[in-house]
Structure 1
């Protein structure tokens, strides 16, 4: 583990109460950042502030951003909030569910970035890391809405990275494959084993491995990289 020092940095992690978002929030906290989680259902986490924020609600985001601005701003933003929806073929997906998946997973990233970027511009620096999924590149049978939403995150990240390239704000994306979280462990053992078998490493990724990749993207060491997409997939995706 690399010893990053985020002392004096203020970080916001959306969807940071559980799973990958929680792992990132705790990694940044352990490296000295003052971390705040924005989550629809925030959970108490040691040494981490939390606020109930629905990323589909511009008014709730605005209130959280105003509070952050009063506290000194936002140096690091990690957008980990998402909703995959239920697994079913396209012809069985209700329009309402399709819209919900896109609203939370894709439009939520836009809504949060749209309101946080001005703070970073004012400060003259910042780091933004968006969390998509390997489904953005490969598609996902039964989860077409989620695959489409995460593909949108990839394109959005590349676009925002280009817009901010002449500033000291770096914008990058991570696309994880199967990571061993509490969400995965509700699946049957056979399904989890099949996911591990698809990886060339023949195992699941760990939350710590994922969070370590994100930590670098949040650091000053990530200085000449923006608008890029990083797989955390054990070699499952190489393009």
Structure 2
């Protein structure tokens, strides 16, 4: 069955949208008519979308990008906080402090920074959809990915807390927590690590970026109007709660 959406009157921002899951989400939003603004520290052109160079840890860059979006759009309807950095796959004791600071900075503080500037506009118009990309690591705590797990857990808790702060408005805030998805980011961990991930999955495979994008778009649609403060697994059955 083919699922279709109509986002023809929506303006969407996708952070980390140049590659991987973010690019797939942005592509699908464009396909279904949204006016899409892709924010990425290393932007890559995407047909039908506006692409801006934005480091989500830099408030001034976010402010400048917001100003440009505001010229072309009266409101922001959808925010996908997708920018992420996995870091090295290694034990915490051998991890350089500068690296865990970057992991926390991009994956958690970046969500704070972007949301802090977008949310007031959504509150002003009384509606909006925010989807934060977390990770299964944030629910289970994965060895050799301690900092990434901690950042992802923060995204999950932030989603739940923020959703309750804005529950008196038309703003909905949800989180998607993928397990291992077939992206370059995961493949760079090496065949041995990837094979272990596949073995740990009840479905015995990696998820696809299209599958993740399908869930994100559903959360941005009217079909998901009763969901807020929720965390949706994409783990192939691996998540235990």
Assess same fold via TM > 0.5: yes
Question: Cα–Cα, structure 1 residues 25 and 86, in superposed 2: closer, same or farther, change >3 Å?
Answer: same
Flag structure 1 segments of 5+ consecutive residues without an equivalent. Answer: none
Post-superposition CA distance 1:157-190 (Å, at most 9, x none)? 1011001111111000000001111223334334
Tell me which residue corresponds to 2:187: 185
Partner-residue secondary structure (3-state), 2:223: coil
Tell me which residue corresponds to 1:62: 63
Pair 1:91-2:129 in alignment? no
Tell me which residue corresponds to 2:209: 207
Tell me, in whole angstroms, the C-alpha distance in 2 between the residues paired with 1:106 and 1:57.
13
- Range with greater deviation from structure 2 (49-58 or 178-187): 178-187
Tell me, in whole angstroms, the C-alpha distance in 1 between the residues paired with 2:197 and 2:144.
15
Tell me which residue corresponds to 1:40: 41
1:237: Cα distance to partner?
Answer: 0.7
Tell me, in whole angstroms, the C-alpha distance in 1 between the residues paired with 2:209 and 2:132.
16
Tell me, in whole angstroms, the C-alpha distance in 1 between the residues paired with 2:85 and 2:102.
8
Flag structure 2 segments of 5+ consecutive residues without an equivalent. Answer: none
Any conservation in 2 of the 1:16–1:37 contact (CA below 8 Å)? yes
Tell me which residue corresponds to 2:110: 108
Tell me, in whole angstroms, the C-alpha distance in 1 between the residues paired with 2:87 and 2:195.
22
Question: Cα–Cα, structure 1 residues 87 and 184, in superposed 2: closer, same or farther, change >3 Å?
Answer: closer
Tell me which residue corresponds to 1:169: 171
- Range with greater deviation from structure 2 (170-179 or 186-195): 186-195
Tell me which residue corresponds to 1:221: 223
Partner-residue secondary structure (3-state), 1:202: coil
List aligned pairs for 1:140-151, cutoff 5 A: 140-151=142-153
Partner-residue secondary structure (3-state), 2:89: coil
TM-score (norm 1): 0.96
RMSD in angstroms over aligned alpha carbons?
Answer: 1.2
Runs of 4+ in 1 over 4 A off after TM superposition: none
- Range with greater deviation from structure 2 (181-190 or 93-102): 181-190
Any conservation in 2 of the 1:102–1:149 contact (CA below 8 Å)? yes
Tell me, in whole angstroms, the C-alpha distance in 1 between the residues paired with 2:121 and 2:71.
11
Tell me which residue corresponds to 1:139: 141
Partner-residue secondary structure (3-state), 1:106: helix
Tell me, in whole angstroms, the C-alpha distance in 2 between the residues paired with 1:28 and 1:238.
31
Pair 1:27-2:5 in alignment? no
Partner-residue secondary structure (3-state), 1:150: helix
Tell me, in whole angstroms, the C-alpha distance in 2 between the residues paired with 1:70 and 1:169.
22
Tell me which residue corresponds to 2:127: 125
